Amino acid sequence: MELEYLKPFRLGEIVEGKVIGTGRSAIYLDLGPRGTGIIYGREFLVEKTKLKGVVVGDALASKIVELENEEGYIELSLGQAGRELSWKELQEKKESEEIMKVKVVGANKGGLLAELNGIQAFLPVSQLSQEHYPKVEGGDPTKILRELQKFMGQELEVEILDLDPRDQKIILSEKSKEKNKLKELLSSYKLGDVVEGEITGVVDFGAFMQFGAPEPIEGLIHISEVDWQIIEDLSKFLKIGDKIQAKIIDIANGRVSLSLKALKEDPWKEVEKKYAKLGMVQGRVTKLNPFGAFVEIEPKIQALCHISEFGTKTKMEETVNVGETYAFQILEVSPQEHRMSLRLATSAAAAEPQQQTTLEQEPTQQDQ
């Protein structure tokens, strides 16, 4: 069997050799019985600063860029090898979930910029710890950027969430340390517990609430978990400093999810007793979007008249107006999924007696 050290080199292979000679614009490396390597020309000039202090006997790792040049040397690249080894090292750090300190060197509306092994890395806003998350009311991008710029020059503890050498992309996360700390703090809590705390931030997608003592825990109340009705403006429901109770509904990915509506009676429980399939109902249009028209049947009960019932978005906008009340026929009622589907009723259909809203008449087996 051929010995490893006698196998021929491959283009792109990372090799290590000892410096056996230096010149004004070249470095020569002993690569053993398989040949002599040279770093020169552009490769030398690009890495001139790094090579300045190199002396005979030093070991260098380089990447083979040509197997044999006109003079019989194996051409090497110190820079390419360094970058490849850097990516390899970063991959190992990612796999081991190593926590590293990085200095923030920039900020944009999406997050923070840092450097790892000389490679630019990105820390998205979504991967900031809850302590550092910019809790800007209304989600104003300009205000978010202003908050993020306050981290310039600071060191943060992060881990590598994702990396792609081909795209020169490194995504960081600040949540790992928080996950371990959170796990310890939450050891005395379980899903379903009701906790009391204070609202510390209100953003467009939800509200942050601190609870627990002596060391507080911060959880997120998603906008969909604030109330059973559809909420357009969260600031009308919650404000910073509000003291409230919430239910723990999830603990995952370094975040505690809380719910206010879980402590309120589900208005959909009685829906089947009030509204029958194929029955008629009056509803106020509250919102139009590409999916259809949202219709308020009663406070906290929203139904959908799907866009297919109108044909196109333009026809829907020509047929119904937000804020106005219309007659609808109920196509489907699903209390478990908190869903009711409607069809805009014609005057002729509204006059038919079998379509009047009543629960004295049970839906047939086929209707079910």
Is the CB of residue 331 less than 8 Å from the CB of residue 338? Answer: no
Give the chain's mean pLDDT.
83
CA–CA distance, 30 with 256 (Å, rounded to integer): 58
Q: Which of 263, 293, 323 is the last residue of a domain?
A: 263
Q: For residue 270, what pLDDT is reported?
A: 81
Could you tell me the residue range of the domain that residue 319 belongs to?
269-355
What CATH number corresponds to the domain at position 197? 2.40.50.140
Query: DSSP assignment of 33-78, as one string?
Result: GG-EEEEEHHHHHHTHHHHTT--TT-EEEEEEEES--TTSPEEEEH
Structural domain contains residue 143: yes
Q: What pLDDT, in 10s, does the model give residues 83-124?
A: 776 777 888 888 888 888 899 999 998 899 998 877 889 999
Structural domain contains residue 53: yes
Q: For residue 43, what pLDDT is reported?
A: 80
Structural domain contains residue 184: no
Are 285 and 302 in a shared domain?
A: yes
Beta-bridge partners for 243: 198
Q: How confident is the model at residue 82 (pLDDT cuts 50, 70, 90)?
A: low
Structural domain contains residue 3: no
Q: For residue 352, what pLDDT is reported?
A: 42
Neighbours of 11 (CB within 10 A): 9
Structural domain contains residue 363: no
Cis peptide before 214 (omega within 30 of 0): yes
Residue of 343, 241, 247 lying closest to 292 (CA atoms): 343
Structural domain contains residue 183: no
Q: What pLDDT, in 10s, does the model give residues 303-312?
A: 999 999 999 9
Kindly tell me if the per-residue pLDDT of 1 is higher than 70. Answer: no
Q: Which of 24, 57, 84 is the last residue of a domain?
A: 84
Q: What pLDDT, in 10s, does the model give residues 216-275?
A: 888 999 999 999 888 878 888 999 999 999 999 998 766 789 999 999 988 888 888 888
Are 69 and 108 in a shared domain?
A: no
Q: For residue 193, what pLDDT is reported?
A: 93
Buried b (16+ CB within 10 A) or exposed e, 284-296: ebeebeeebbbbb
Q: What pLDDT, in 10s, does the model give residues 30-65?
A: 888 888 888 887 888 777 777 777 888 888 888 888
> Judging by DSSP bridges, how do beta strands 169-173 and 155-164 pair with one another?
antiparallel
Residue of 282, 306, 309 lying closest to 294 (CA atoms): 306
Q: For residue 254, what pLDDT is reported?
A: 65
Q: For residue 106, what pLDDT is reported?
A: 92
Q: What pLDDT, in 10s, does the model give residues 128-184?
A: 887 788 877 667 788 888 889 999 999 998 888 888 888 888 999 887 766 777 777
Q: For residue 89, what pLDDT is reported?
A: 80
- Model confidence, pTM: 0.53
Kindly tell me if the per-residue pLDDT of 197 is higher than 90. Answer: yes
Q: Which two tokens stand for residue 356?
A: 């009047």
Query: DSSP assignment of 274-323, as one string?
Result: H--TT-EEEEEEEEEETTEEEEEEETTEEEEEEGGGTSSHHHHHHH--TT
- Is pLDDT larger for residue 52 or for residue 205? 205
Is the CB of residue 157 less than 8 Å from the CB of residue 174? Answer: yes
Q: How confident is the model at residue 361 (pLDDT cuts 50, 70, 90)?
A: very low
CA angle 24, 27, 30 (to 5 degrees): 150
Structural domain contains residue 310: yes
Q: Which of 209, 232, 263 is the last residue of a domain?
A: 263
Are 194 and 174 in a shared domain?
A: no
Residues listed for the chain: 368
Beta-bridge partners for 199: 209
Instruction: Provide the number of structural domains found in the chain.
Output: 4
Q: What pLDDT, in 10s, does the model give residues 285-318?
A: 998 989 999 999 988 898 999 999 999 999 999 9
